[in-house]
Each structure stands twice: as structure tokens, then as C-alpha cells.
Structure 1
Amino acid sequence: MISPHLQILPPSSVNHYLPTHYGIESCSTMAELKQHHSVFVKLGLSTNNDAMGRIIKFCSLSSNGDFPYALRVFCTIPNPDAFIYNTIIKGYLRNHLPRNCIMLYSLMLEESLVPNSFTFPSLIRACCVDAAIKEGKQVHAHVVKFGFGADIVSQNNLIFMYMHFQSLDEARKVFDKMPVRDVVTWTTLITGYSQCGFIDDAFDVFELMPEKNCVSWNAMIASCVQSNRFQEAFALFNKMEEEKVELNKFVAASILTACTGLGVLKQGKWIHKHIEKSGIELDTKLATTIIDMYCKCGCLEMAFEVFSKLPEKGVSSWNCMIGGLAIHGKGEDAIKLFREMERGMVEPDYITFVNLLSACAHSGLVEEGQFFFHYMIHVHKIEPRKEHYGCMVDLLARAGMLEEARNIIDKMPMSPDASILGALLGACKIHNNVELGEKIGKRVIDLEPGNSGRYVTLANIYATAGRWEDVANVRKLMNERGVKKEPGFSIIEMDGVMNEFIAGGMAHPRPDVQAQAIYAKVEEMLESIKLVGYVPYIDAALHDLVEEERENPLFYHSEKFAVAYGLLRTKQGETLRITKNLRICRDCHQAIKLISKVFDRDIIVRDRNRFHHFSNGDCSCRDYW
């Protein structure tokens, strides 16, 4: 049936038909398009660039098109123009055939066709996808040669290309020579610097921007977040608020991730409320970011409330909630939620099982973890990845099943990475297996020669066995390689302000509570808990310190400072929430358990591995971490 938009016109009416009556814009299927095409052929328009260009455009770029059909039509046209070549180049790029884009451009030049401003953006992107830096530079030369050195779209794409190839100087040269720049220009340069790790350069460019919009603000905030410079992200966000820039879902997601990184619940709650008041669309990605923030700021109740209210839960939302339960040591609840996910006919993916196995590892559920590892393979047909093997090694090693954990490492179809070996090394320290710890420690140091934690763990294993010469050799190796022990720090949020304490530090930036008051509170805490049985666990200190130094550094671990500050600044009954960058040591763990009892406070500490909920002298981890 002929489309109602088409009429068979006599030859005398062809010229009238050409400009206004194609009707192709109304096509929604290839069947309709082919009707138009057949009419064009009958009208003698099969070699007309204007008519065939419209056919090719629909087939190449429409979601309902058919790119192979476009190519067949293209091959029938004797003299295609630049518009048709540009359309086919876009089609090749859209169909992930970047090399064909470059080859077609060469053919276009051989046919003596002059490219226009629409030719180069797609061509430049094709060079990026194809990793064709040599061809990309040649295209750049052609942009200049054909007179498009001032075309802002082409120049923006050149900046993107050079940043993609990490040719920062070339990108900056393009930027500096541009007579006119738009927000895309500035944002592309900022994002490029950030992705290459040059955050300070990105910030310098951001500061020079004559006009900033929410896109540029988000680019800069996201850059800081991706580089774990969370404090700077907050400073930018506060400045953005001062300048009355409207919050959108992208900025909200970025700053929520910063809240997650620092574990600052109050700020995260404010952002969540602002999202609700502003009517920002709560898509799956943003909802999952909110859930993740609540989980990692120690507020599982709010995370579950947001999760439960989602009208549609995608696999990422389920994964996030299961992962949140895992890091809080609620393995049984994670398993229940997984079963609910299955009942809801949501197909789990490999991340689901990483989180589920991690939940079993954090809760000591050895049998359950082994069951789900096989269940993943045989029921859901998911091949184990390195992360799954890592969880199993962690699960068995934590439970003291060191040989079983080593057997998994030996049978893995891929080489174990430092995180997997590190899990076994940490367990060797906990369970005092010096022989295996020495073997694994040397392997993991070879894999991560710049990670101070690996050296310290091995040194402590040697020290526990009284092998002081080996301890000295580890320290000597660290010094020779210039490896410094990572300083511990803890953060506690008060009234929306992040207060950071460094292990052994004497100063505190807040004038309202002086350092002397904090030290006095630490002393009061320790004296109080000694009355109920606290004895400093001096083995938690680095074993090669001289004897008289071995006790005091424990008193001044950063989490003790943060707890003292929290007790000074909050009212009785308020929960203290602390984030620590390293794994909490055994001494601080025992001390905070007793502090929670003596001072009648709930204290939540998020360390590098998990959450610890201290209440009335107990910890949610049941001393299993």
C-alpha cells in the first residue's frame, strides 16, 4: 500500500515535488521509507542527491533505520555530494566502524569533494575511537587547510581528541588559538585535564571561565570526586550554592558521591532533601547513588527506606542495597534480600554475587558463601571473576581456613592480584601463621612495591614471631624504596563541617575546642575504661618502635581523637559517626567498645573494610573483621 503522504506525479510536476513533498520526515519504519524510495525511483530521482540524501539519512541515523540499506543506496549514486558523505561517515561511527569513517573521508577527497564543517566532528571522533592519533593529526591539518580553524564545533572536538590521546599540550594549543569559546570548549578542557590526573590545571581553567553553568560546575566537582579530593568538591559545591547555580541531578550525584567518600551523613541528608524539594528526576542512577550514600554513611535505615520506595528496582539498586548490608556485617539480611530479588524476577549479575559473597565473608558465613559461589556458577551460569575468587579467599582466610584459601588461589584460572593475596596476608597475621605469611607477604610486596601497608603487615608478622632482624630488613627495604607508612586519619562531621584528625597530630583546626581539651578528654576516656578492664594492646603499634614509644602512639590514634572531640561537642544520647581511612586496629576497637559502654554512647566507625556499630560495650562485627 502506498503511503498516504505520497502521490504519483506527472514528470512536469517533479521539480515542484522536490523541495516540499518528500514526506520522509514522517517515516517511522523501513517499510514506509521503502515506499518513498520506490516512488523516487519511478519519478526518476534515483540519482538525485537531495532525494537520495534523505533516504540515506533516515537509514543511517534513525533508530528505526537500516544502515546496510543506506550503503546499498549510496553505491548506486553516481556523484554523491558532501552531505551524503557526511551522513555515511556518521552512520559508520554510529555503527562502531571508525576505520571505515577514515577510509570514506579519503575516498571523498579522491573524488575532489570539499569537506564542510559537518564533516570534521564525526571524523575526529572516529579517530578517537579507532586510536588513530596519526590520522587525527592529519584531520587537524585539514580542518585548518579547508578554512575551519575558527569553527567552534570542530575545535571543541579537536580538544577532546588530543585530551583523549593525553596530548595535553596540543589540546591547550588548540584552546589558546580559538577566537571564540563556548561552555563546551571550557568543559572539554577541564574534563580532559581531570581524566589525565591534572586536577590543579583543570581548576585553573575553571577559574578562568567567564561564565559558568551547571555543566561546568559539575565537571569540576566530578573531577575532584573522581580524584578522591572530597573536601575540595564540597568547597566548590558551597561556592556554587553561593552563586545561586541551580542544582541538577548530575551535580547532586557528584556531591552525594563526595558525601559517601567522607562518610558525612548530615550533608548527604541535606542533598537528598534538596533533590526532593526541587523536583529533580529520581532516575535509577541517582536513586542508587542516594542508597549508596546512606549505606556508606552508616544509616542503613534510610538507605532501605529509599530502596523500598523505588517504583522500579533495577539490578544496580538491588546490588547497592545488598552491598550496603555486606559492609555493615549483616550477612543474613543480605541473603534474605537476594532471595527477595530472585522472587521479584530480577536477574542477578556478577556484581550481585560479589556483594553477596562479601556479605558472607564479613559475617563469617562460610557454608553459605561456599553454597552461593557454586550457585552462581551452576544456576545463574556466571563464570567466576577475580573479584569472586577474592571474596572466597577472604571468607576462608578470615575463618582461619588458611590452607583452603591458598588452594583457591592456586586453582584460580587467572593470576591473583595484590588485593586477593593481601586478604590472605592479613589473615596470616590474625591467625599467627608466620610461614605462610612470609611467603604471601613477599609475593604481595613484589606486586605492590609502593603500598606501605603490605610491608607493615609482614613486619608485624615477623615481630609476633620475635624475628626482629627480619623486621629491620623490611623497614630497610621500605626506606631504600622510599615507601612511607600511610598516615591514619579520621573524620567526624559536626554541624555540616568535616573535622579531620591525624594520628599523633597535636593541632586541631577548630578554635571552639582547643587541642589541650581534646587531649584531656582522651586521657579521661582511657582512665575511665581502664577501670572496667581496658589494657592497651601494644602489639597494635609498629613492632620496631622502641619500647617506651610503643604505648603512647596507640593513645593518639586518630579515631581516639575523633571520639574525644565527638564527646566534647555532642549531647548525651547522640550517635557519633566517624570515618577512618585505614583499618581500625585491635586496640582502638577494644577501647571504643568500652567507651560506648562507660559513656553510654552509640559510636559508628567506618574503616577501610567495613562498618563497626559500637553500643553498650559490643560491636556489630562481633570482633570478626
Structure 2
Amino acid sequence: MATKTGVLTIKGLEDMLMPILRNCKNIAHMKKIHSQVIKFSLTQSNFLVAKMIDFCDKIGAIEYASLLFKHVEEPNIYLFNSMIRAYTQKHMYVSCIDVYTMMMRQLKREEPIFPDSYTYPFVIRSSGGLLSADLGKQFHGHVCKLGLESNNVIENSLLNMYVKCEEISEAHKLFEEMAMRDVISWNSLISGYLKLGKVRRARTLFEEMPDKNIVSWTTMISGYTKIGCYGDALDVFRRMQMAGVKPDWISLVAVLPACAHLGALEVGEWIHFYAAKNGLLRRTCVCNALMEMYSKCGNVNKAWQVFNEMSDRDVISWSTMIGGLANHGRAHDAIGLFKEMEKTNVKPNEITFVGLLSACGHANLVDEGLRYFDSMRDDYKISPDIEHYGCLVDLLARAGNLNRALEIIRSMPMKADSAIWGSLLSSCRTHRNLETAVVAVEHLFELEPDDTGNYVLLANIYADMGKWDCVSAMRRFIRSKSMKKMPGCSLIEVNSVVQEFVSGDNSKAFSKDIYQVLQLLALHQSKASNIIETTNGDEFLDIHFL
């Protein structure tokens, strides 16, 4: 009876503390409750400690949660699962695996504790976070041994783990064996194929998918955008709307880079209107993507408007706007914006200085560029990357300081790429410096032996300096290597559809119609020229084209 009374007393104390614990607001309040738990000798109460760990997980006090757990001598499955979940959600994957290992040791006790369906989704996620397929396969074996393999949540966790570890064959095998596939299963496998660049296989699965949600469409859009298939990304975005699926902020951020690269300004403007109408401009990442789209589509003033209307700006916002202004020749505006940024609490990053140094290069502000390059290292402790050195070389080369630019290249901590040597070669033509041009070309020949543009540029430098023998020799060299220049291409947006045209390509279904219109225009132009030549120059002609 005493034992029963004791149990009832403990239960009563737990019931008394639970409402207080539910209303806990911060860690200081939690510590007061913990003191009461200690006072009433309830530190071994799995129920109370698990609830305290859940609260610590909620407010981010994971170290305190860990101390609570370690003081329990005989944790039950509920407490183990609480600690495993807390570690996983804070990305402390190794600690999660350690707790699971501790749980497995309990199997040797007289009253063993077996992992359950709430345990494995988190430990499997931890193995995926560690990118350890071997560890994940061990958990897969444990799941099968305990008869939990038919649990849909666990199966999806395993599938996602294999995808993260790039074990796509294992993921697909599991997918085929699943008794019940939900939209999460399909999305995980599709994203796995896209991650590995297997777009056709991903698209096939996408088309076979019985029920697509917003995540399915966004996954395809994002996958196409990341591998540079921007036209396909826009096509899927258009199909998503035709299917009646309303875009969310994630899908907008996924498709806007495709608009930027294709110059699809009409689609980008529609997205801007849609985002404003649906309250999505409160998302900083949506505004950042809109700014990049407008800048790359040539409308930097609209990007500037978006920037000025933002309520919350992060470092990407400032960097995007500075880079956009720099790329449109508004160097002084870019520098002024950087000075304004310095007055805020937002610290510039590597991308910020790429835009800033580029602005100095466009405006020929050598001293300012050198000062900002030093400030990046000294004041902001940012180690210059190859892009920063490229901007510095371009800045010096544009200003005619070719020897100093060459010294910078030779003193770089990394090997110069073709972009840097190409920038130096281009400035050599502007400043008629053959000696440095030859040095640049020698490195470009090594880095890009099949790029005819470098050979042609050197030939043009020879021509500018009247060295026609060298020009002829270079042309003979190009012919001897059977080099061909890559055909040019152009893009045009009509009725929100972007079409790409490659020089000499007549594979489009409407190519015949286009050539007929061009011939008609050429005919009218020829007639107009004849009329102009045979008419008195003082007489005004009103020529209309069909």
C-alpha cells in the first residue's frame, strides 16, 4: 500500500508540475521548474524529463537538454526518442547516433528497450545528414529485423537518406518495393535524379506521378534551373499554372533565375505582379530574385525600385543591387550604395566585393578599387577568391597598368583561369601591348586550346600593329587545326514564350515561315533603296513595309 501511495504521490506531483511546464516561457523559468523537480526527487521521472527536453529543444537549449538526459539512470523509449529528436533537429547527428547506440545496449538488459517507429525516422535522417550510406544501410537492416519496413514514414526517411547519399540505385530499388508510395516518395526520387543531373529520368518519373503537388512542380523547375535548362524550367512553370496549381514563394524563387538568364522580362514582370498581389514581397528572398531578374533583363531602374521598397534587406539584397548597378555602368551609384551599406548592421560578403570591384573597373577608379581590395582583407577579414583577383586584374588592365596586372596574376595564391587571362588579352589590344598579349595567349592556349576566339583576338592585335605576316601565320594555324567558331545564338520572348535561335539552325517547326518573312523584308528593303537612289534628295519619301 505504501508503494501504491508512493506511486500516486509521484503521479500527483507530475500532474501538478505539468501545467507549469506547459506555460514555461524561457530557460530561466525552466531552471526554476527543474529546481522543483529536484526538490521533490523527480529527477528520474522519464515523463517529466522528456517534457523538459522537448521544451529545451523548442527554445534551442540543447546543452541543457543533454544534461537533463544524462542524469536519468534508466531512460525509457519515450525519453530516448525525445533526445534523439532534439539532437537531429539541431543537426547534431553524431550525438543522435550515440544516443541510439546507447539505446541498443539496453537490449541486453532483462527488460530490453526496443527502438520503435518514432525512433528510426530521426536516426535515418541523421545518417543522411552525415552522408553515410553505410550507416544508413545498417539502420535499414535494423528496421527490417524489427519488422518496421512497411511503415511509410520510415520508408520515406530511408528513401530520402539514399537520395542525399547519392545512392540512387538503392533509392529506386526501395521505391519499387514500397507497398504504398505517397507524394513524398515520388518527390524524393525525382529530386535524387535531378541532383545527379539525370533530367530525362526525373522527367519520366514526374510525368508518371499520379498526384503532383506544389513541391513536385517546384522540384522540377528548380532542377531544370540548376543545370541551365532555363527554357524547360519556364515550360514546367507554365504547365503548373495550367494544371491549376497556385505558385508559392519557393516556386517563384526557383523560376526567376530562368527568367533572368533567358531575358524573359514579360514573365518576370507577371511574377512581380503576382507576388505583390499575393503578399509574397514580404519575403526577402523573393525580392532578391526579382532584383536579379530585372538587372539581368536590362531594367536596373526596376530592380532599384524593388530594393527601395523592401522592408527587410539582407546581405544578398545589398550585393545583388550593387552588382546590378555595376553591370549597367552605374559605378558611382554602386559605390554610393556600398557606403550606405557600411552604415547598416549588414556586413558585406564575398559577393558584395565582386560587385564593388567590378564597379570600380567599369568607372576606371583604380585607387578606389585597390583600397576596397585591401579593405576586404584587412577590415572584413575576407580572403580574396579568384573572382576578386579577376576584378582587380581587369581594373588594372583597363587602366593600362598591364605590367602590374601581370604581377598580380603571378602572385595570386591560386592558378589564374581563362577569364583572367582573357581579360588581360583584351586590354592588351586596347593598349597595343604585344609583349603582354603573347604571354596571355600562351596561357590561354594551354587552358583553352580549342577556343578560336583567343587566336582571332591575337590576330587582330597583330593587324592593329600592322604585322600582317603574323596575321597570315595565325590564320594558317587556325585552318591547320580545323577549328570552327561556335555558332552564335539569340533569344526572343513572344507572348511570354522564349524561343532560342542558333545561327544556321532551321530545325524549328516555323523556320520556313521565318525565312519567307525575311525574304519579303529583304525584297522591300531592296525596292526602297532603289527608290531612294532614283529620287531627288530634297524630296521626302514615306516608305511603308508590310
TM-score (norm 2): 0.85
| Structure 2 contact 132–165 (Cα < 8 Å) conserved | no
For 2:526 and 2:341, locate their aligned partners in 1 and report how far apart those are by CA, in whole Å: 46
Report the 3-state secondary structure (helix = DSSP H, G, I; strand = E; otherwise coil) of the residue aligned with 2:42: coil
Structure 1 residues 241 and 130, CA, compared in 2 at 3 Å: closer, same or farther?
closer
Give the 3 Å change call, closer, same or farther, for CA 307–437 of structure 1 in structure 2.
same
- 2:24 paired residue among 23, 27, 40: 27
Q: Name the counterpart of 1:621.
A: none
Q: Is 1:370 paired with 2:360? A: no
Please state whether the residue corresponding to 2:492 is helix, strand or coil. strand
* 1:324 aligned counterpart, secondary structure: helix
In 1: Cα distance, 2:261 partner to 2:481 partner: 32
The residue that corresponds to 1:233 in the other structure is: 233
Q: Name the structure 2 match of 1:72.
A: 67
Distance (whole Å) between structure 1 residues aligned to residue 84 and residue 486 of structure 2: 51
Map residues 106-505 of structure 1 onto 2, 5 A cutoff. Answer: 106-112=101-107, 113-344=113-344, 346-428=346-428, 431=431, 433-444=433-444, 446-447=446-447, 452-453=450-451, 455-458=452-455, 460-462=457-459, 465=462, 466=470, 485-505=485-505
Pair 1:49-2:51 in alignment = no
One-letter identity of the residue aligned with 2:58: S
Rounded to whole Å, the distance in 2 between the matches of 1:167 and 1:437 is 48
Amino acid at match of 2:39: K
1 CA distance for matches of 2:459 and 2:512?
44
Query: Residue 10 and residue 88 in structure 1: after superposition, are their counterparts in 2 closer, same or farther (change >3 A)?
Result: closer
CA offsets 1:479-499 (integer angstroms, 9 cap, x no match): 7xxxx7543211122332323
Identify which of 89, 95, 98 aligns with 1:103. 98
Partners in 2 of 1:477 and 1:115 — Cα distance?
Answer: 67
Q: Is the 8 A contact 1:325 1:333 kept in 2?
A: yes
C-alpha distance in 2, partners of 1:97/1:478?
A: 57
What SS class does the counterpart of residue 498 from structure 1 fall into?
strand
Measured at CA, do residues 402 and 173 of structure 1 come closer, stay the same or move farther in structure 2, by a change above 3 Å? same
Report 1 or 2 for greater relative contact order, CA contacts < 8 Å, sequence distance ≥ 6.
1
Is 1:84 aligned to residue 84 of structure 2? no
Hey, what's the Cα distance between the residues in 2 that align with 1:227 and 1:528?
47
Check the 8 A contact 1:506/1:515 in 2, yes or no.
no
Q: Specify the alignment match of 2:540 in structure 1.
A: none
Report the 3-state secondary structure (helix = DSSP H, G, I; strand = E; otherwise coil) of the residue aligned with 2:47: helix
What is the root-mean-square deviation in Å for CA atoms of aligned residues? 3.1
Residue 18 of structure 1 corresponds to: 14
Residue 37 of structure 1 pairs with residue 41 of structure 2: no
- Aligned-pair CA distance for 1:514: 2.4
User: Which stretch has the larger CA shift, 108-117 or 44-53?
Assistant: 44-53
Quote the offset at 1:469 in angstroms. Answer: 5.4
Cα contact 1:460–1:471 (8 A) shared by 2: no
Question: Tell me, what secondary structure is at the counterpart of 2:124?
Answer: helix
Q: Judging changes above 3 Å, is the alpha-carbon distance between structure 1 residues 180 and 12 closer, same or farther for their aligned structure 2 residues?
A: closer
Partners in 2 of 1:84 and 1:160 — Cα distance? 26
Q: Secondary structure at the match of 1:491?
A: strand
Cα drift, residue 467 of structure 1: 5.7
Change (3 A) 1:152 1:448: farther
How far the C-alpha of 1:19 sits from its partner, in A, is 5.4
SS of 1:46's equivalent in the other structure is coil
Structure 2 unaligned spans of 5+: 108-112, 463-469, 530-543
Residue 120 (structure 1) shift:
1.6
Residues 71 and 357 (structure 1), Cα distance of their counterparts in 2 relative to 1, 3 Å cut? same
Distance between the aligned counterparts of 1:40 and 1:446, measured in 2?
72
Q: 1:147 deviation in Å?
A: 1.7
In the TM superposition, residue 528 of structure 1 has moved relative to its aligned partner by 10
2-side partners of 1:293 and 1:146: how far apart? Answer: 52
Superposed CA deviations along residues 366-422 of structure 1, whole A, max 9, x for unmatched, are: 333223223434444544332211110122223333221111112223333343333
Is the 8 Å Cα contact of residues 455 and 474 (structure 2) preserved in structure 1? no
Change (3 A) 1:118 1:389: same
Report 1:528-607 matches (<5 A).
none
Q: Deviations over 1:181-225 (max 9, x none)?
A: 222221111112111111111111111111111111111111111
Q: Equivalent residue of 1:500, what SS?
A: strand
State the 1:265 CA deviation: 0.9
2:536 corresponding residue in structure 1:
none
State the 1:470 CA deviation: 5.7
CA 1:167/1:471 → structure 2, altered by over 3 Å: closer, same or farther?
Answer: farther
1:328 to partner: Cα distance: 1.2
How many angstroms apart in 1 are the aligned matches of 2:344 and 2:512? 52
How far the C-alpha of 1:340 sits from its partner, in A, is 2.9
Q: 1:70 to 1:372 in 2, by over 3 A?
A: closer
2:58 aligned with 1:62: yes
Structure 1: gaps spanning 5 or more residues: 1-8, 530-566, 570-625
CA 1:519–1:499 in 2, change beyond 3 Å: closer, same or farther? farther
Q: Is 1:93 aligned to residue 82 of structure 2?
A: no
Say which is worse superposed, 238-247 or 509-518, in terms of deviation: 509-518
CA-CA distance at 1:297 after TM superposition: 0.7
Percentage of matched positions with identical amino acids: 35
Distance, in Å, in 1 between the alignment partners of 2:88 and 2:48 is: 23
Offset of residue 518 of structure 1: 2.5
Q: Which secondary structure state, in structure 2, belongs to the residue aligned with residue 179 of structure 1?
A: coil
Superposed CA deviations along residues 428-485 of structure 1, whole A, max 9, x for unmatched, are 4555555444443443454466xx54x5313541575426556665676687xxxx75
Aligned amino acid, residue 393 of structure 2: V
Residue 588 of structure 1 aligns with which residue?
Answer: none
**TM-score, structure 1 as length reference:** 0.75
Per-residue deviation, residues 328-381 of structure 1 (Å, max 9, x unmatched): 122122122223333455433332211011122234333332232234344445
User: Which SS does the other structure have where 1:246 is aligned?
Assistant: coil
Return the alpha-carbon distance in structure 2 between the equivalents of residues 107 and 324 of structure 1.
54
3-state DSSP of counterpart to 2:210: coil
Amino acid in structure 2 at the alignment position of 1:169: S
The answer to whether the 8 Å contact 1:168/1:193 transfers is: yes
How far apart are the structure 1 equivalents of 2:519 and 2:361? 37
